[in-house]
């Protein structure tokens, strides 16, 4: 099967691989500790682990977009900021 | 009683997963791949990094189209949700009137979007359209081709005509599912019409209204066919929404890289706003 029309590149393949690994990791976490660990954090509504991952990923996407729009095309600092943000979400949300 | 765990049920989900993979995930992956490259056709791609994102995010064209989208969706939701609820409240609950009303309400939903656009394009024309002709006869200067206000008014009225029925049908489904006992209790308590609506009907309709709100938001935010047929994005760029801008970029200019970047930004905005609406409405529901 020819997938050249999908125009794969190494960075985008790594990006999707990272997303896949995150999902697999969440699946393993759920298997080890079932129930999703629901809790009410600083946003004052109940979130599970999956919700917190979603908030982390969506927030990270917007951090990158804000960085690209306001600062420039080099996004390494935006990625670092997103990691800090994701840790914050998993800890406090 | 202990729950029966059966992991074979996961295989039942497999066909859906395959379908979603082919209809959504693979195209989305392709768009991500395109958004970081440039192409001149023949499957030849050149790495562009994040340049297209920077270009889109710093263009007035993108922000103007996004603002138009947000204004359009806000107007549509402000009109269609209350109007849909009002019509549903006044629809008959028993007798021959029920199927008649339901069929009449369903009719606009059965018309394809491009046909709706064509109907309103002809309907609004001053020379041959009934609406344009009547308005001209009343001395009202109406021309959606060269007047921004008229173009917006036509699109809004058209969308309200086309999609309020969806809100009506969903709200009506919520209303008829309320057991009579609630109304009898309200009658015994001497509750006013407003109190019945506020404390019985509205809470019972909340879930279907949430669905209606999300569907109408996403649909109005992604509107393409009708404005494309009626105004073509004009006069000027006054009705060029993000979707029209996207098609102009991708197909008109064959700028697949910037179009892919714009698609992803558009997708993320819809995802964010839908998540916010859903979370706010379900959280207030849970608190109640």
Q: What is the pLDDT along chain B (288 residues), one digit of tens a residue?
A: 566 667 787 788 899 989 988 889 999 999 999 999 998 888 889 999 999 999 999 999 999 999 999 999 999 999 999 999 999 999 998 889 999 999 999 999 999 989 999 999 999 998 889 999 999 999 998 999 999 999 999 999 999 999 999 999 999 999 999 999 999 999 999 999 999 999 999 999 988 998 899 999 999 999 999 999 999 998 999 999 999 999 999 999 999 999 999 999 999 999 999 899 888 888 876 666
Q: List, by residue range, all CATH 1.10.3720.10 domains of chain B.
A: 73-244
Cβ distance of A9 and B58 shorter than 8 Å:
no
Cβ distance of B57 and A61 shorter than 8 Å:
no
The residue in chain B having the minimum alpha-carbon distance to the alpha carbon of residue A6 is B30
The answer to whether B53 touches B31, Cβ cutoff 8 Å, is: no
pLDDT value at residue B282: 82
Partners of B37 in the β-ladder: B47
Cβ distance of A12 and B47 shorter than 8 Å:
no
Taking only Cα atoms into account, the Rg of chain A, rounded to an integer number of angstroms, comes to 16
Q: Please tell me what DSSP assigns to residue B93.
A: S
Cβ distance of B283 and A45 shorter than 8 Å:
yes
- The verdict on A4 touching B (C-beta cutoff 8 Å) is yes
- A79 CA to chain B: closest CA distance, Å? 13
Cβ distance of B30 and A5 shorter than 8 Å:
yes
Mutate to test the interface with A, among B7, B10, B30, B33 (most CBs of A within 10 A): B33
Nearest to B230 by CA among B152, B288, B160, B168: B152
CATH number assigned to the domain covering B73-244? 1.10.3720.10
- B66 CA to chain A: closest CA distance, Å? 15
- The verdict on A68 touching B (C-beta cutoff 8 Å) is yes
Cβ distance of A54 and B49 shorter than 8 Å:
no
Q: Is B190 helix (H, G, I), strand (E, B) or coil?
A: coil
Give the N- to C-terminal CA distance of chain A in Å, as an integer.
44
Mutate to test the interface with A, among B40, B44, B50, B57 (most CBs of A within 10 A): B50
Q: What ipTM was predicted for this assembly?
A: 0.93
Q: Please tell me what DSSP assigns to residue B199.
A: I
From residue B218, alpha-carbon distances to B69, B74, B88, B154, B197 in Å are 11, 11, 22, 20, 27
With a CB cutoff of 8 Å and minimum separation 6, the contacts of B206 are: B174, B281, B285
- The verdict on A33 touching B (C-beta cutoff 8 Å) is no
Task: Give me B14's structure tokens.
Answer: 């497999």
Tally DSSP H helices, then E strands, for chain A. 3, 2
């Amino acid at each position: 099967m020819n997938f050249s029309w999908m125009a794969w590149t190494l960075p985008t393949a790594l990006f999707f691989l990272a997303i896949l690994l995150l999902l697999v990791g969440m699946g393993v976490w759920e298997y080890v500790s079932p129930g999703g660990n629901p809790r009410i954090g600083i946003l004052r509504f109940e979130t599970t682990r999956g919700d917190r991952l979603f908030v982390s990923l969506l927030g990270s996407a917007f951090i990158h977009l804000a960085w690209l729009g306001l600062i420039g095309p080099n996004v390494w600092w935006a990625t670092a900021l997103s990691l800090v943000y994701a840790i914050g979400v998993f800890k406090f949300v | 009683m202990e729950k029966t765990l059966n992991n074979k049920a996961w295989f039942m989900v497999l066909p859906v997963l395959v379908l979603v993979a082919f209809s959504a995930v693979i195209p989305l992956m392709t768009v991500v791949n395109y958004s970081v490259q440039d192409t001149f056709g023949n499957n030849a791609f050149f790495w562009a990094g994040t340049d297209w994102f920077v270009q889109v995010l710093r263009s007035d064209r993108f922000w103007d189209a996004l603002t138009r989208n947000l204004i359009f969706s806000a107007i549509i939701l402000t009109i269609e949700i209350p109007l849909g609820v009002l019509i549903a409240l006044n629809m008959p609950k028993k007798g021959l009137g029920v199927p008649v009303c339901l069929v009449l309400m369903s009719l606009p939903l059965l018309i394809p979007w491009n046909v709706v656009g064509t109907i309103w394009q002809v309907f609004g024309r001053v020379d041959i359209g009934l609406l344009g002709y009547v308005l001209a006869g009343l001395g009202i200067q109406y021309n959606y081709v060269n007047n921004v206000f008229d173009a917006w008014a036509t699109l809004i009225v058209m969308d309200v005509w086309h999609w309020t029925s969806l809100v009506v049908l969903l709200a009506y489904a919520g209303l008829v599912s309320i057991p009579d006992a609630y109304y009898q209790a309200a009658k015994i308590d001497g509750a006013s019409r407003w109190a019945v609506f506020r404390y019985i009907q509205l809470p019972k309709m909340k879930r279907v209204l949430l669905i209606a709100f999300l569907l109408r938001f996403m649909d109005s935010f992604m509107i393409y066919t009708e404005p494309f047929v009626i105004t073509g994005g004009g006069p000027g760029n006054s009705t060029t929404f993000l979707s029209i801008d996207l098609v102009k970029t991708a197909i008109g200019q064959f700028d697949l890289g910037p179009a892919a970047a714009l698609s992803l930004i558009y997708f993320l905005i819809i995802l964010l706003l839908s998540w916010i609406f859903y979370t706010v409405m379900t959280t207030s529901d849970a608190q109640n």
